[in-house]
Amino acid sequence: MRQSPLLLILFLCAYLLVLQTAKATSVETNDLAEQREIFIRAEHALKNYDHANYVRLSQKITSYPLYPYLIFYELKQDIQHQTLNLHTFDKIKQFQTKFPDFPYNTVLDELWLAKLAKNKNWAQFIKDYHGKHNNELSCYYHLAQFHLTNETTHLHKASSFWLVGHAQPKGCEQLFSAWFKSGELSQQLIWDRFSLALEQKNDVLGKQLLKFMSSSQKMTAELWLKGAKDPKLLQSDNFLNANVPETYKIQIMANCLRRLAKQNAIEAFNWWQTHQNSFSFTEVQKNAIERDIGVYLCHQRHPLAKGWLEMLPNHTLDNTAIEWRIRLALLEMDWPNVLNLIDKLPQTLKNDNCWQYWKARALENIGKIEDAKIVYKQLAVARNYYGFVSSLRLKQPVSLQHRQSPISQAFMQKVAALGAIQRFTELNLLKRHAVARVEWFRALDKMNDKELIAAAKIAQKLNYPDLAIFTMAKADFKDDIPLRFPLVHQETIINNANKHNIDPAWVFGIARQESAFFNEAVSSKGARGLLQLLPSTAITLAKKHEIDYVTEFCLHKPDVNLPLGAAYLTQLKKQMHNHIVLATASYNAGPTRTQSWLPQKPLEADIWIETIPYKETRDYIKNVLTFTSIYRLQLGYPAALELMMKAIPAQRP
């Protein structure tokens, strides 16, 4: 029976379709969306130890930007979950040669060496160790040499890791333990590390070191720990008369007194006046104590501060203490003394914009107007706080000095084609933002200035304003204003600022300083989002202003963070005499502390800012005022710095 020609054609077409489909399952695809989907499946297969399926899928996407991650995960799995296979190290080296820009290459070395150390395969560890590793692996290296040779000279290498005031990783603790058991770790070395820990206020490490000490040394150490916790014990006869070696007692008292000075400078001052000659403090200890008492008397606005600092010899003071002499003269508006003290500064400090500005202010106030103008004009070309306040003194507009980034579209495409940038893009599409940021920052380390600018423009184009800002901060070219000060979330910020009758440029300035517009920013204290709000503050504000707030993670949403932040800024401004400088200080240091810094009588804003006790808050206010001025110009308004810099009101009775 003859088959119909039509049926034969249909059969052949079906056969060819099946053949084409079968071929497609074994060859690589170049479609990014398809590669992305295969990557996820291959990753899932690897996690589930479905090796055959993983191999089949991974072979299809060897050109996919994230393909190196599959090999990385495979090697990690081999190291962590399988018995030690020396061929794995060869695979690691092959991988690192093939993908030299992969950001986690050193992780593989570290995992491999850590596995060898865990298995006590010391000979192989020595062979594979190349000397450019972290402290833990360096400690394992010396431990390995000791185990292979049984020579205690290798344990002596532990001293460089031992003599630090911070905790070391587990591998170093094993080296220290072997050193201690060998009898080579002396009680003096134990005390030296304990001292470093307490000097660096690492009391937790100090407690951990007690286990190495003899009973008598332990008793002395425990006395120091008590004094460190409560420095006021210095005023107790029991503490002063404790039965410990005199040298150690003096060391303990010097440290505790410096801690007391930070808590209550006048109590430290009174103790020092009474007891300094009763004990044989070294010259170094004496200078450090007197310096700290002086600086903290300044911080605590005590009338004794000026006379105390003036009494101390210059060679005993660091730059911080010397600068506080000038700040005290500013508070008294003793302009001839300001000039005199600035003139005595070390040359590098004297040329700093800060002290050049105050030199000009002093010249202006003693009537040398033209000399002052020369300095102001030199400063006014800079796009920073001192440049802007110098422009204010000259009664001229601030200068942004904007220049467009000199990068062509072709060069941007070249940078965008870099493996690290492609991986960054793909990782973000897969919502693996943390890993993507690692890729980005590792890529920046290898870029020249032109590539950095191109990368910043790419970040801006991809809507990562924070990365554009951080990238431009690494470049020498810093004149592209929209790139460094982007108007992101413009509508939300302006609407919420207008709702509360505050300057939208101020909200932009705070956000630029707090998070650089990184939505996911989290501080060490738990503040979150664009305006770095604490959850406790956010809950109260949300109830008061009827803003939807479910959990602290809502603060990473701009449409929640910005309304709450604008409300909080408004609240602070009302609390702080409707003064933007005081409200900004409160946003950083808190309203209570800011209130305590208010002067006894009205004071010029620039003097008040310069004499705030905390450097962090001084710098914070300067940055926010600068950023706010820039954003006002970006939004089409005058900089209006004179309105922000109105006089600071006196404390309320």
What is the rounded CA–CA span in Å between residue 507 and residue 499? 13
CA 83 to chain centre: 39
Tokens of 607: 């003097």
What is the rounded CA–CA span in Å between residue 58 and residue 374? 68
Question: What pLDDT is recorded for position 618?
Answer: 98
pLDDT above 80 (res 15)? no
Q: Do residues 487 and 635 touch, judged by C-beta distance below 8 A?
A: yes
What is the rounded CA–CA span in Å between residue 435 and residue 425? 11
Mean pLDDT of the chain: 93
Q: Which of 272, 254, 330, 338 is nearest to 298 (CA)?
A: 330
Give the mean pLDDT of 160-181: 94
Q: Do residues 54 and 45 touch, judged by C-beta distance below 8 A?
A: yes
pLDDT band at residue 500 under the 50/70/90 scheme: very high
pLDDT above 60 (res 6)? no
pLDDT band at residue 28 under the 50/70/90 scheme: low
Q: Which of 497, 550, 554 is nearest to 530 (CA)?
A: 554
| Tens digits of residue pLDDT in 65-111 | 999 999 999 999 999 887 778 889 999 999 999 999 999 999 999 99
Question: What pLDDT is recorded for position 634?
Answer: 95
End-to-end CA, the chain? 115
Question: What pLDDT is recorded for position 85?
Answer: 81
pLDDT above 90 (res 26)? no
Residue 522 is given by DSSP the state B
Other CB atoms closer than 10 Å to residue 244's CB: what's the count? Answer: 19
Tokens of 59: 């072979």
What is the rounded CA–CA span in Å between residue 48 and residue 46? 5
Give the mean pLDDT of 330-356: 96
**How many Cα atoms are found within 13 Å in the side-chain-facing hemisphere of 559?**
1
Q: What global pTM score does this model have?
A: 0.91
pLDDT band at residue 646 under the 50/70/90 scheme: very high
Q: How many Å is the maximal CA-CA distance in the chain?
A: 124
Other CB atoms closer than 10 Å to residue 286's CB: what's the count? Answer: 14
Q: Do residues 167 and 188 touch, judged by C-beta distance below 8 A?
A: no
What is the rounded CA–CA span in Å between residue 254 and residue 195? 12
| Tens digits of residue pLDDT in 583-607 | 999 999 999 999 999 999 999 999 9
Residue matched to tokens 């903290």: 296
pLDDT band at residue 25 under the 50/70/90 scheme: very low
Task: Name which of 7-21, 266-280, 347-361 the model is least confident about.
Answer: 7-21
Question: What pLDDT is recorded for position 29?
Answer: 67
Residue 652 is given by DSSP the state P
Give the mean pLDDT of 197-203: 97
List 522's β-bridge partners, or say none.
528
In our burial notation (b when 16+ CB lie closer than 10 A, e otherwise), range 592-618 reads eebeebbbeeebbbbbbbbbbbeeebb
For 170, 205, 227, 291, the CA distances from 191, given in Å and listed in that order, are 21, 12, 16, 25
Tell me if residue 612 falls in helix, strand or coil. coil
List 95's β-bridge partners, or say none.
none
What is the rounded CA–CA span in Å between residue 552 and residue 538? 8
Tell me if residue 533 falls in helix, strand or coil. strand
Q: Which of 389, 381, 382, 383 is nearest to 361 (CA)?
A: 389
Give the mean pLDDT of 510-515: 98
Tokens of 255: 């440290």
Q: Which of 129, 179, 123 is nearest to 151 (CA)?
A: 179
List 528's β-bridge partners, or say none.
522, 533
Tell me if residue 275 falls in helix, strand or coil. helix
pLDDT above 70 (res 464)? yes
What is the rounded CA–CA span in Å between residue 572 and residue 648? 15
Residue 648 is given by DSSP the state B
What is the rounded CA–CA span in Å between residue 9 and residue 34? 31
Burial of residue 140 (CB within 10 Å: 0-12, 13-18, 19+) is buried
